[in-house]
Amino acid sequence: MDAGQITAGLLLLLCIAGVAYFLAQRRSQPQRPVANAGRSEIERDFARVFSMTGAQGRERLIKRWMDRSGCDRTEAMRLARVARDNR
């Protein structure tokens, strides 16, 4: 074996070790659930528009729109978002 083959072998071994280390680190990290998984597009949009409002404030806003217009929760979110956009 000449020096070129030894260098190529060591380089290949280092690449394999690097990939194995990366995969081991990735497997040991806990997986975070996606924040918007299972939400409708209206719910995601409502959460984005009112992201600076606290959870209780958002719930009060939804309840106010439900009482005002007599609609369901999803429609209340849509109406609140449209009203915010029209300001």
User: Would you say residue 19 lies in a domain?
Assistant: no
Q: Which domain holds residue 57?
A: 41-85
CA count, 13 A, side-chain hemisphere, 78: 9
User: Would you say residue 1 lies in a domain?
Assistant: no
User: Would you say residue 26 lies in a domain?
Assistant: no
User: Would you say residue 29 lies in a domain?
Assistant: no
57 pLDDT exceeds 60?
Answer: yes
Give me the pLDDT at residue 56, please.
Answer: 94
Place of tokens 């958002």: 58
38 pLDDT exceeds 70?
Answer: no
User: Would you say residue 72 lies in a domain?
Assistant: yes
User: Would you say residue 11 lies in a domain?
Assistant: no
User: Would you say residue 76 lies in a domain?
Assistant: yes
Region 48-66: mean pLDDT is 92
Give me the pLDDT at residue 36, please.
Answer: 57
Q: How far apart are CA 13 and CA 20, in angstroms?
A: 11
User: Would you say residue 59 lies in a domain?
Assistant: yes
Q: Count the domains in the chain.
A: 1
Tens digit of pLDDT for each residue in 60-76?
999 999 999 999 999 99
The one-character DSSP state at 34 is P
The per-residue pLDDT of the chain, averaged, comes to 86
